[in-house]
């Protein structure tokens, strides 16, 4: 049974061990590593691992594609790699290329703050949507409160960037916050606003020498100034610590660093960063204004390649700067939105056409995931595997991106995950509905166009056994190795009753999916039958739980009731023994549910796939009432 800990350990071992890891972090679906020696990576072995969807080098950064459970796996990777996962200093033995270094740096800064950007951006999008449809007015008290929540991360963005940059640069985060606090000091912001209202500019004559004239600027929502300033802080602070005696370092090193870094930041670094950000943003906005059709065609069409290499993080500062300076983004969010949904449409087309049952399930589940905005399962598990659907999705995205660029589709907020739930970010805060309507139309077309193209141009289907779960060899008594013959990874219902989502079970071991994914059933009869064919791995004396190893490698735990182990077998009758061979539908246990309930013990029964990490997804098939033997779960490899 492969747990997240086992997957993490195998990955770390196959990338050369913890000593080979210079830095480790993760994004929405991938583990990301900076390594000392790339030659130590066992790429093909990692790709074959259960729980891993793919692996690749993007420049000098090594990426392991996990999918939706990446945070769980990283939680086990982090203690294995030690300081590399915590942001402390560890020297790399190999220099990175310039482009790779920049990409790593940008992704390392923006990945940690994505949840804050996504949540706040989506809230701002919904607020704009509510104003557009007339549910709220932007002058109401409710709007004021909700807007403050949604706007906070963008207004105070320098503070978030200061912390993430400090972690990436491996310097003190609290000193970095002083940099952000100085740039955002209310006196400077008020002076800037007053000068703007008067149509003038204001400078401060620092030290009274007449040539250190600090321009008064507003750095809220800015990106590059605080990043450059924290980089400067790191090197100045380290230099100061080298020349200051250790006995007085605690007090004097930070103060001296501040006195050097902060005037320079206000005088040179901040204005320079502001100009760089505005210049880059202006170039891309000019490109879309000059030829939005061509720019949209290229960016939306090539977005899957950009995402695969991790270069999409480089667009984050541009989008943020554009929204801060212009009030909208016409490049990153619209094109990523179209591209993600197109991958979903192609995956749905595969689900309809393929004769392979598991690929059909995977096409459906990964298509839903891509429509939400997480595209790796659809890209790697379906579309790229079949090649033609991936190309058709890119062509569809390019066509629709060209229209969006020509039309000038705008997003008015950021969203960390760009899919169906990000549609509200296209609602104009002024209450105009045109951009919102166009985004909905493009969402529909981005689903339908690649779907139709896949149906027309088709693809070379995969045979059933190419997606079947790898079959272990089983030693029988005659010592002849045989292969298990089951090919469909399906779990039937072991009893009759009412479906209960696992998240609603009172025992956190199950509700938090610590044991794995699955479903629960409130029983209406007094027996449990085998949901799969295989052998009994675990059957304790208490008879309240059965662990089954299936012929297809699936490991199923049936746990009858909550805390029923305390009954010590009372009201339970076992019909099998540990080690027995069982067939699907065979009775396993009888129990007296009424007698159990009379003792104030719950009888809700959990059916859990304990080797969940070996599957791309575990899909409940039913809700409501289910009968014994009905299709309960599908395990997607």
| 45 in catalytic set | no
* Per-residue buried b or exposed e for 381-399, using 16+ beta carbons within 10 Å of the residue's own CB: bbbbbbebbbbbbbbbbbb
How far is 39 from 59, CA to CA, in rounded Å?
Answer: 14
In DSSP notation, 356-370 reads -HHHHHHHHHHHHHH
How far is 233 from 174, CA to CA, in rounded Å?
Answer: 12
How far is 505 from 518, CA to CA, in rounded Å?
Answer: 11
0.85 exceeded by pTM: no
Angle at CA of residue 234, ends 233 and 238, nearest 5°: 110
Q: Kind and range of the H or E element at 284? A: helix 270-309
Nearest 5°: phi and psi at 431? 100, 0
Q: How many residues does the chain have?
A: 637
Q: CA-CA distances (angstroms) from residue 431 to 120, 137, 298, 426, 506?
A: 19, 9, 31, 11, 44
Closest CA to 122 of 142, 143, 149: 149
Which residue's entry shows tokens 């007449």? 210
Instruction: Mention every residue, 6+ apart, whose C-beta is less than 8 A from residue 254.
Output: 175, 237
End-to-end distance of the chain based on CA atoms, in angstroms? Answer: 15
**Torsion, Cα of 175, 177, 178, 183 (10° steps):** 140
The pLDDT value given to residue 571: 92
The pLDDT value given to residue 530: 93
How far is 30 from 37, CA to CA, in rounded Å?
Answer: 20
Angle at CA of residue 332, ends 330 and 338, nearest 5°: 90
Return the CATH fold of 489-636. Glucose Permease (Domain IIA) (2.70.70)
Closest CA to 309 of 24, 539, 59, 133: 59
Q: Give me the average pLDDT of each 10-residue run along the chain (637 residues).
A: 78 89 75 85 85 74 76 83 52 51 71 76 82 84 89 87 88 92 89 83 83 85 86 92 84 91 91 82 76 87 76 72 80 91 94 86 85 80 85 94 92 81 87 89 96 92 48 36 44 90 83 84 92 90 90 90 86 91 91 90 92 80 78 82
How far is 378 from 155, CA to CA, in rounded Å?
Answer: 35
Q: Where are the domains of the chain?
A: 4-88, 123-291, 489-636
The pLDDT value given to residue 603: 93
Q: CA-CA distances (angstroms) from residue 316 to 41, 50, 281, 436, 525?
A: 30, 32, 11, 22, 56
How far is 529 from 537, CA to CA, in rounded Å?
Answer: 15
Instruction: Mention every residue, 6+ apart, whose C-beta is less than 8 A from residue 615.
Output: 50, 489, 609, 635, 636, 637
Pairing assessment for the beta strands 581-582 and 587-591 based on DSSP bridges: unpaired
Return the CATH fold of 4-88. Gyrase A; domain 2 (3.30.1360)
Question: One of 7, 27, 548, 616 is an active-site residue; which one?
Answer: 27
């Amino acid at each position: 049974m492969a747990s997240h800990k086992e997957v993490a350990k195998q990955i770390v071992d196959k990338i050369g061990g913890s000593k080979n890891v210079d830095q480790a972090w993760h994004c929405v679906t991938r583990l990301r590593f900076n390594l000392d020696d790339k030659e130590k990576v066992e790429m093909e072995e990692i790709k074959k691992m259960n729980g891993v969807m793919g692996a690749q080098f993007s420049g000098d950064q090594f990426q392991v594609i996990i999918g939706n459970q990446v945070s769980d796996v990283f939680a086990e990777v982090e203690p294995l790699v030690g300081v590399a996962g915590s942001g402390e200093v560890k020297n790399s033995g190999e220099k990175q290329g310039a482009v790779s270094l920049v990409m790593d740096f940008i992704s390392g800064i923006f990945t940690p703050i994505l949840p804050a950007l996504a949540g706040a951006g989506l809230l701002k999008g919904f607020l704009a949507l509510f104003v557009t449809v007339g549910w709220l007015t932007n002058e109401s008290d409710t709007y004021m409160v909700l807007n403050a929540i949604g706007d906070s991360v963008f207004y105070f963005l320098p503070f978030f960037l200061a912390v993430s940059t400090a972690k990436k640069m491996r310097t003190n985060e609290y000193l970095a916050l002083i940099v952000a606090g100085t740039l955002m000091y209310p006196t400077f912001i008020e002076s800037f606003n007053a000068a703007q209202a008067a149509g003038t500019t204001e400078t401060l004559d620092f030290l009274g020498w007449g040539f250190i004239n600090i321009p008064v600027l507003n750095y809220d929502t800015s990106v590059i100034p605080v990043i450059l300033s924290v980089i400067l802080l790191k090197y100045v602070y380290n230099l100061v610590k080298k020349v200051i005696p250790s006995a007085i370092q605690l007090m004097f090193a930070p103060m001296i660093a501040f006195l050097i870094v902060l005037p320079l930041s206000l005088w040179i670094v901040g204005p320079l960063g502001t100009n760089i950000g505005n210049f880059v943003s202006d170039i891309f906005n000019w490109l879309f204004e000059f030829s939005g059709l061509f720019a949209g065609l290229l960016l939306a069409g090539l977005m899957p390649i950009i995402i695969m290499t991790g270069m999409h993080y480089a667009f984050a500062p541009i989008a943020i700067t554009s929204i801060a300076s212009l009030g909208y983004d016409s490049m990153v969010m619209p094109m990523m939105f179209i591209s993600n949904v197109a991958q979903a449409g192609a995956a749905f087309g595969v689900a309809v056409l393929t004769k392979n049952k598991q690929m059909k399930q995977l096409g459906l589940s990964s298509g839903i995931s891509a429509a939400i905005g997480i595209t790796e399962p659809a890209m790697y598990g379906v579309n790229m595997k079949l090649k033609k659907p991936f190309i058709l999705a890119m062509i569809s995205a390019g066509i629709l991106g060209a229209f969006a660029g020509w039309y000038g589709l705008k997003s008015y907020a950021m969203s960390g995950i760009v899919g169906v739930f990000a549609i509200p970010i296209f609602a104009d805060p002024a209450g105009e509905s045109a951009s919102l309507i166009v985004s909905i139309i493009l969402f529909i077309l981005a689903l339908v166009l690649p779907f139709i193209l896949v149906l027309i141009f088709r693809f070379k289907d995969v045979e059933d056994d190419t997606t079947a779960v790898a079959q272990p060899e089983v030693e029988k008594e005659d010592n002849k190795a045989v292969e298990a013959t089951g090919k469909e990874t399906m779990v039937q219902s072991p009893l009759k009753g009412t479906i209960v989502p696992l998240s609603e079970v009172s025992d956190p071991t199950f509700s938090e999916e610590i044991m794995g994914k699955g479903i629960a059933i409130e029983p209406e009869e007094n027996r449990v039958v085998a949901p799969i064919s295989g052998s009994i791995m675990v059957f304790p004396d208490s008879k309240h739980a059965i662990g089954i190893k299936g012929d297809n490698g699936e490991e199923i735990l049936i746990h009858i009731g909550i805390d029923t182990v305390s009954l010590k077998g009372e009201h339970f009758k076992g019909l099998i023994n540990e080690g027995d061979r069982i067939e699907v539908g065979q009775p396993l246990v009888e129990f007296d549910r009424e007698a159990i309930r009379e003792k104030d013990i719950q009888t809700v029964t959990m059916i859990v796939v304990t080797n969940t990490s070996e599957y791309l997804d575990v899909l409940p098939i039913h809700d409501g009432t289910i009968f014994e033997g009905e299709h309960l779960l599908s395990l997607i490899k």
